[in-house]
Structure 1
Amino acid sequence: MADASEHRPRTVLVTGASTFLGGYLVARLANNPDIARVIAVDSRVPRKDLMRRMGRAEFLRIDIRRPAIAKAIANCNVDTVVHAATSIMDTAPHSTAIKEFNLLGAMQVCAAAQRSPSVKRIVLRSTAMVYGASSGDPSHFSEEIPAKREPTRGYGRDLLDAEGYVRGLGRRRQDIDVTIVRPQAILGPRINTRMGSYLSLPVVPTVIGFQPRLQFLHEEDALAAMEHATLAGKVGTFNVAADGVVTLTQAIRRIGHLELPVPSQLLAPITGVLQDLRSAKLRSSQTDFLTYGRVLDTSRMRTEFGFAPRYTTMETLDDFISRSGVTPVIEPGAWRGLEKRIVSAALQLR
């Protein structure tokens, strides 16, 4: 594997330009004077405000499942490919069409990169969903664990397969540096995610008898991590998550919403009833996550990847609360007062 310093990005192609992470990453890279050319690719045209932010970046309307992506990479002499089009942040539930997009898209991007002698670096936006969630989970997931514990369905399965395609490319083209970024659940005032939609419900269904531990990653830190992966060229697979852990009940109360404990088999249907029909609907993989939680080991992120998020998990949640427009049903101070009264009553009973 060549030294990363030999592969300083000059011409960068980013897939998923109409998404939050893909589009705003393009905008960041376009503002970097050390990058000569930035090419934004998507089958959908980005919103006008996002397109303006992209500045000098060139937009190509291409379906990455088609051979046209290979022509774009070859004709533009691309040296760095950032595959950010993986469909995991959209609020649409996982489906056969999304699975096809994730898998065929990753296969075509990898095949195009393999055929192009100019490509020297590929970055994949994966997800912490590759770890799944179950009662037998470790306290913290390190990057090696998916080899033993693999999700069998949903977005986690898609991205685990996509990771396999990218690693296969690295084995076939050992002159290409491969970086895989696994962000924890992303939350922020601008990005639209299933977790944000779920926490925004005034009445939030939870699984009775369980208290999942959660980490969040601020949208700005997610962007910064992808930019760092593009520029630094650190080879390997890296968890990316904020410091600190919050339980689901703590998060709901901090927002000022009401918790509705229900049996696990009713979590998805009740959430679907409470949400607008256009909003994210839970599937079994999300139900598992909201039952057992998931916490990542970020040692490698700091030591090998060389990245540190600016926001903690609690700061990410607070920024989401203050700037996303969620309205509290019960003010947080009321929860704290109730907790103090319960503790005081418990002490008196001793």
Structure 2
Amino acid sequence: MSTVVILKCEDYNPELICEKLQYALKMIDFRPENYKKLLLKPNLLMSKKPEEATTTHPAVVEGLINILKKENIDLIVADSPGGPYNVKRLNAVYEKTGIKDVCEKTGTPLNYNTSSIEIELKGESKIKALPVIYPYKECDGVVSLAKLKTHGMAVYTGAVKNLYGMIPGGYKVELHFRIREIERFMDLLLDMYETINPLLSIIDGVIAMEGDGPSQGTGRKLGILIISDDALAADYAASRIINLSKNDFPLIKRAIERGLFKEESIRFVGDSIDSVKVNDFKIPLKKDMTFIRGILPRFLEIYLKEIMTPKPYVVLNQCKGCSECYLTCPPKAICIEDKKAKIDYKKCIKCFCCHELCPYQAIKIRRNFIYEKLLK
């Protein structure tokens, strides 16, 4: 049985967070003395300030570090942000997100080794092996330090999706091109969850992100921390809190189909879900139109899917021509013309990497009016 601890936490006061985490670790019987070295994996998607609610807040990372340091465990903080995986980019992200300051303050190493190792995946995905960041090889286990956010493709991102950041930057782009169906992408995430099997998952929901996540949404104070010995159970708890149903949550829906998740196998501790639940959390509409499959003639199905599927578009007066979208687009559907991004929709696979990683929020998602009415 998995244990999920839900705790109200009104702000990012380091002492308060440390106190909450200590209580949670006791409740799930987490025994750090059993490990020599742990990899702490926060969500460091891109160079954003902590108050922008895109990345795991440094106070949450600091709180856990301070607890684990007392047990004389070796630690390393590591992630592979979106885009190219190199030392310059890592340093920029570490600095902007406040993680570098925390690591210097606590004497905790940050990973700058951009090499990778290959791991074999358990499960049902067609991808049987993956490269992951090198520190994984040197550690006894992984702690997923996630941010509670919405996601344009996956609907929600938390403890399990956070593991995808262990794949080196360039290969993440390739995977988006190879795996275009949402169900198959969920299979990959679930296979990573089964294979990496994080020892501990902590979701930062003090200030979450709603709306156009994972980087262009709006900060929303939920005032919670979710801690669990099971990443999938932690994500399920988060989905309940933001009023996301199982059928609208691709990860949990697929986990149930694969027999990886049963609600009755979770023990909830701490504050009740009802006491922290919000009913008006802004969640992205579903990305696809699979409900029309097999109902209409094939030619009409293809036509409707094309005109009604959400698409990224460039807000020209916000675009700086920085080339971030060009560098991270899996099918190379974006070029820079006259210092502005331009999308070739014949090549676009609607993975929304451009929307996710644009540092100027110059790429938005356009949804058909009828689509919005149907999928609300």
Structure index of larger Rg: 1
What is the TM-score of this pair, normalised by structure 1?
0.35
Structure with the bigger percentage of strand: 2
What is the TM-score normalised by the length of structure 2?
A: 0.33
Larger % of helix: which? Answer: 1
